[in-house]
Structure formats: C-alpha cells, structure tokens
Amino acid sequence: MGDKQAFRRVAFLTMKLPLNVYLAEMACTGILVFVGLSFVIMDFGKGSGVATLIHDTGLRRLITGFLFGSTGAAIAVSPIGKESGAHINPAVTLAFYLKKKISGSHAIGYVVSQLIGAILGALPLVLWGQVGSSVDFGVTEPGKHYGALQAFIGETITTFALITGLFFFLSHKKIQRFTPLLFPVLYALMVYIEAPVSGTSTNPARSLGPSVLSGNWHGWWIYWLGPLAGTLFAIGIHKLPLLNRFEIAVAKIYHFDHDPYKIFHFTGPEKIKKQKK
C-alpha cells in the first residue's frame, strides 16, 4: 500500500514538473551557445581565414551579430523551441516573470535549464582547437579601451533594447508572429555598435558557457548585473501609462498557442475579450 502511495506521489510530482519543457529549454540554450559562438570563433578566431577574406572588423561584427540573432530566431520557430517557448536567456525569463506570464518556480526551472544548457553547449567548442582558444571560445569581457563601468552600461543598454523590442513585437497582434525576425536585425546593429565595449552579451547564460570552458572570468559580474539592470529598466518603462496598454499575451517567442503543460499565464487582450463574451 505504501509503495503504491509513493508511486502515485512521484507520478503526481512528475506531472506537475514539466521536465520536457526544461529539457527543451536546456537544448535550445545549448544550441544557441554552440552555433552562435561558432560564428564568433569563425569570424574572429586567429587562423580561421575569415579575417583574411573580410578585413573590416566592423563588417565582421555586423555579420556575426546577424548570424547570432538568426540562430536565436531559428531556434524560436523550431519544434524544440515550440516546446519551451525559446526564452534561451535568463533576462528574457525574468522579464516574463516580472510581467506575471510565468510563475516563480517555473522561472527558476527555466534559468537553471538555461545555465546548464549553456555549459553543455560550450563544451563542443573545443573542436575549434587553437582557433577557438585564441578568442577564449567567444568569451565576453570588457574591450581593451573600455573599463568595467562602461561595459556594464553597454550591457544595460543593449539588454534594455532587447527586452523593449521583444515586448513591442509581442504586444502587437499584427506583428506578433514576426517576433523572431527582430533578433537578426537587432543583434547585427548591437554587435556592430556596442561589441567593442562589452562584447554584447545581453545573456548571462551565453557568457557563462565560454567562461567555464576557457577559465576566463574577467568582469564576469558585468554579464549578470548588466542584463538584470537592463531588464528592470525595460519593465519599468513598459509600466508607464502610455505603454502599459500593450499587453503581452504569453511568455513565448513564437508558437503562442502551444502550452500542453499549462505553465504559461495567458492573460493577453484576446483572452480578455473571450472572457468578456
């Protein structure tokens, strides 16, 4: 009898804990780190050949940002991104939590999954060998001509731009389905303009992976506190009367109606209209 009760309790807890969602988020973040940072290594690693082909470092930054953002966009629309909503960034998860679109327990599950996924995704980067190690496998750190404070401000501004842009797309029904297209353009511009200052992370998980792999923790706190500050500023701006009317429906980047585990709080305008009817 006791064994049956224990089994039922474990089964109940398993049902309440959406492991498939967390595993999907872990895989999404791992893919972002591996593929996205492979582009960084390919474009800036010594001996990769791209520097010989494209001498202009600004142009290479533009291309790298576009490819990195495109990787995130592809993950968002993919089947695995459909499962978790493809936050792939603790700052994005925090923003959704602060907007009350996901519970605190699930937000913690997402962030833990993202951090583990980032570390696992960074491990295959060793396959780049000396080319990868020449840039510490895509680690983010303050630029040579900039200090920690400037890098912190850079991370704050770029994360603010990311969250604000994300909310703008998600809160407008007509352009909501085009949200993933924001990332290639936004990251191309941000990396082109801001990367010399901080490396343009906007994502603590993205910065954690290569730091663990390379052992380079220079200015690591910047890539936690900067995105946190940027997210809080974006949430504050979004609460202003002029912008607060733009309600976000659900904590997902794409596949908005897919929620088999009922972990997202769908409280957007469409849901409100249905409830009034």
Mean pLDDT of 129-138: 97
Does the pLDDT of residue 8 top 60, yes or no? no
* pLDDT more than 70, % of the chain: 88
When mean pLDDT is compared across 4-8, 209-213, 262-266, the lowest value belongs to: 4-8
Tokens representing 109?
A: 């599950």
Q: Count how many residues are written for the chain.
A: 277
pLDDT the model gives residue 3: 55
Counted domains in the chain = 1
Q: Which residues, other chains included, contact 248 with Cβ-Cβ below 8 Å and sequence gap of 6+?
A: 96, 99, 101, 167, 170, 171, 268
15 band by pLDDT with thresholds 50, 70 and 90: very low
pLDDT of res. 226: 98
By the 8 A CB rule, do 166 and 95 touch?
A: yes
> Does 67 have pLDDT greater than 70?
yes
- Spatial contact of 93 and 266, defined as CB atoms under 8 Å apart: no
pLDDT, residue 5, reads 56
Residue span of the structural domain in which 156 resides:
19-253
Q: Residue 6 and residue 4: Cα distance in Å, rounded?
A: 5
**241 within some domain:** yes
Share of the chain above pLDDT 90, in %: 79
Could you tell me the CA-to-CA distances from 203 to 144, 223, 229, 244 in Å, in that order?
A: 21, 7, 12, 25
In the block, residue with structure tokens 């089964």: 11
Q: Say if 5 falls within a structural domain.
A: no
Residue type, 172: H
HSE-up (13 A, CA, CB side) for residue 23: 5
Taking phi over 0 as left and psi of -120 to 50 as alpha, with beta for the rest, 255 belongs to: left
- Does the structure show a pLDDT above 50 at 55? yes
Higher pLDDT among residues 218 and 241, named by residue = 218
- Vertex 209, ends 224 and 51: CA angle to 5°? 105
Q: How confident is the model at residue 263 (pLDDT cuts 50, 70, 90)?
A: confident
Q: Rounded CA gap, 82 and 157, in Å?
A: 29
Residue 220: inside a domain, yes or no?
yes
275 domain-assigned: no
- The region of weakest confidence among 8-22, 152-166, 194-208, 209-223 is 8-22
pLDDT at residue 86, as a whole number: 97
> pLDDT-based confidence at 261, cuts 50/70/90?
confident
Q: Establish if 8 belongs to a structural domain.
A: no
Q: Evaluate whether residue 247 is within a structural domain.
A: yes
Query: If you ran DSSP here, which 8-state letter would residue 251 be given?
Result: S
| DSSP-assigned letter for residue 43 | H
* 115 domain residue, yes or no: yes
Query: Residue 267: what pLDDT?
Result: 61
pTM of the model as a whole: 0.89
Instruction: Decide if 9 is inside a domain.
Output: no
Q: What is the CATH number of the domain that holds 196?
A: 1.20.1080.10
The Cα–Cα gap between 260 and 255 comes to 12
Q: Residue 142: what residue type? A: P
